[in-house]
Chain A
Amino acid sequence: MTSPQSGSKPLLEVKGLQTHFFTRHGVVRAVDGVDLHVEKGEVLGLVGESGCGKSVASMSILRLVSQPGKIVAGEIRLNGENLIDKSEGEMRAIRGDQISMIFQQPVSSLNPVFTVGYQIAEVYKIHEDLKRSVGEKKAIEMLAKVGISDPERRLKAFPHELSGGMAQRVMIAMALAAGPDLLIADEPTTALDVTIQAQILELIESLRHELGMAVILITHDLGIVAEVADRVAVMYAGEIVEETDTKSLFAEPKHPYTQGLIGSIPIAGSRREWLEVIPGRVPNLIDLPAGCRFAPRCKARVANNLSICTEVKPGLEEAAEGHRVRCWLYQEDPR
């Protein structure tokens, strides 16, 4: 794995991103002050439970949050340019060309009435203004690149004729057709068999080296992160709670939530007495707790008898070099 080039400007920089959903029951603060940065060519793992806001955060980066959601505050800088200020037309030119995305359900993410070749050729048509015949030739190259055997024949296949793994390969081919700098992969392997999962991850890994692109890998599976990501950001209830490189995250998880997550991974072959469980549930994003959002479920808070946790929200501070944590265990009580 390549380490991020330090010193140079990051490819993507997200600052104070807030995406809220204005529902009848109240404001759902799905993403509430997220800071992220992705260096050129690196893989950032974005980890969290379902509903912690990781998908909304990624859709916000593409400015594709649908009603009643809205980006309320923050900056999203791609190569230094703030995407929030872009017009819808400019965003369209960026989507698929500079930032691409692949999704959890590969088969339903392909249009059922068109052939695979047509759909890949469309991407070339939109972003490079290539004729369909030229686009289809390039589509064959792309299909070969994502490891589909006999690409000429597959070109004429309809999505329902593909297996899940093949469909995800086609999705990747579409997403990478225009050569984006950043690929957002939203749980790309969740719907696939374990063996196919490994193949797809290897594919993403090898393509990012080949094409020199960065990847944001969104997942709830820490095993995948350990395997592929250079750096990891752990999300909880709309916030980043811990962020560091993969090695130190697994060697020395600092946030009690991360510790809990790692503790709850079953290890194949070994049979532990207890599979650790994080008690309680993710808080209601409409009615968030006053202090630290994890405080109600936190064992460390009880063990250390910290009263500040339920009263004042901790900031995301550096606890060790390059290791940022949002937890009072590592910060001075300001009171």
Chain B
Amino acid sequence: MVDIGHPSEFEAELSAGIEQAAGGLWRDAFKELRRKKSAVAGAFMLAILLTIAIFAPLIAPFGPNEVLFDQGASPRDSPCVHLLGCDEELPQHILGIDGNGRDFFSRMLYGSRISLIAGFAAVSFAVVAGTLIGLVAGFFGGRTDNILMRLMDVLLAFPALLLAITVVTVLGPGLINAILAISVVTIPAYARVVRSSVLSVREQDFVSADRALGVGNVRLLFNRILPNSLTPLVVQATLGVATAVLEIAALSFLGLGVQPPTAEWGSMLAAERNNVFTAPHLVFFPGLAIMWNVLAFNLLGDGLRDALDPRLNR
């Protein structure tokens, strides 16, 4: 036999070609993601939102809780933009003044911070808890699996918002408690997603190969199985932020989430809902902002799902 010890030149050349075509899983997914228009739109919308949230103090003309009655503002003033023909004599308020004499535009900008922080925090907590539960349930199976997943089923049996309201009622209203409530409600979704992918990954050849090489359970679970189960989790988490954002707004709307005077879209909407006919801008813009935020994450999540789905890979 010729040249046994080394693969042929041809083989090396061939695999070098393949190597150029394919990068890591995430790099591939990113490429795929950029090809999807809706995902790019979602990412763009999210980027705008993030920029606003980070630079809110620089962009906002006034403080979020600054009462402007002494600067010639009156409650629920209409928007006044000098460029669009508003009288130069009047102070400029792009989105008008709210019922307490505060600049609505500034409040909207600061509201994005709460919305994003709450969304990410709620999802992060739920992802960590759900992943742990799903990993343990899927990997060990049997009775452990049964107990944990039935517990998750109980949580799932309640309508999400109702359960969140219950949790907040018990813990008391406030941002932190609202975040906690929403995480608890969404834990089962992540636990299920992780469990199902663990169930399929743990039967793979490389898991038995790793066992044969002396890899222990903990390392197998976190260093082998978890990285291979991440794909659906990432998609679920991205879509989950959208839901969390919406639910934070809903809880705040009901007066159970963020408390006044903190600027938050849901509570801003609630505060002005009776004036929807006299000052529609005070209801319209927070609603639009919530929609913008939710849509951004939904588009991105959908795009990610397509990009990471191996069945759709060409």
Question: Chain A: residues with CB nearer than 8 A to chain B?
Answer: 62, 64, 92-97, 100-103, 105, 108-114, 122-123, 126-127, 147-150, 157-158, 160-163, 165-166, 169, 171, 174-175, 198-199, 202-203, 206
Contact = CB atoms under 8 A, between A and B. Distances in A.
Contacts of B22: 158, 160-161
B15 A198 contact: no
The interface size bin for chain B is 20 to 34
Given A149-B12, A199-B1, A64 B208 contact: yes
A109 B206 contact: yes
Contact of A147 (B5, B15, B223): B5
B19 A157 contact: yes
B22 to A, nearest CB: 6
Contact of A108 (B15, B204, B219, B223): B204
Interface string B214-241: 1110010001100110000000000000
B7 A64 contact: no
Given A94-B214, A150-B12, A158 B7 contact: no
24 contacts: A64-B211, A92-B214, A92-B215, A92-B216, A96-B212, A96-B214, A101-B212, A108-B205, A110-B206, A111-B210, A111-B224, A112-B25, A112-B206, A114-B227, A127-B214, A150-B12, A161-B19, A162-B15, A165-B11, A166-B15, A174-B209, A198-B1, A199-B1, A199-B4
A202 B1 contact: yes
Contacts of A113: 25, 227-228
B32 to A, nearest CB: 15
B213 interface: yes
Contacts of A199: 1, 4, 7
B6 interface: yes
B14 interface: yes
Given A95-B212, A96-B214, A100-B212, A108 B7 contact: no
B4 A198 contact: yes
B208 A206 contact: no
Interface string B119-160: 000000000000000000000000000000000000000000
A205 to B, nearest CB: 9
Contacts, number: 108
A190 B4 CA distance: 18
A128 B209 CA distance: 19
A264 B206 CA distance: 34
A268 B257 CA distance: 79
Contacts of A161: 15, 18-19, 22
A169 B4 CA distance: 12
A157 B212 CA distance: 22
A103 B227 contact: no
Given A111-B228, A112-B206, A112-B228, A100 B213 contact: yes
Most chain A C-beta atoms within 10 Å of own C-beta, residue among B7, B25, B213: B213
Given A111-B224, A163-B11, A202-B4, A126 B209 contact: no
Nearest to A205: B4
Interface in B9-68: 11-12, 14-15, 18-19, 22, 24-25
The 5 residue pairs across chains A and B that have the minimum distance between CB atoms: A96-B214, A96-B213, A95-B214, A101-B212, A109-B209
A126 B214 contact: yes
A163 B14 contact: yes
A126 B206 contact: no
Nearest to B231: A113
A206 B206 contact: no
Nearest to B26: A113
Nearest to A150: B12
Nearest to A148: B7
A56 to B, nearest CB: 13
A180 to B, nearest CB: 10
B214 A108 contact: no
A149 B214 contact: no
A46 to B, nearest CB: 16
Contacts of A157: 15, 19
A171 B205 CA distance: 12
A62 B210 CA distance: 12
A200 B114 CA distance: 60
Most chain B C-beta atoms within 10 Å of own C-beta, residue among A92, A100, A162, A174: A92
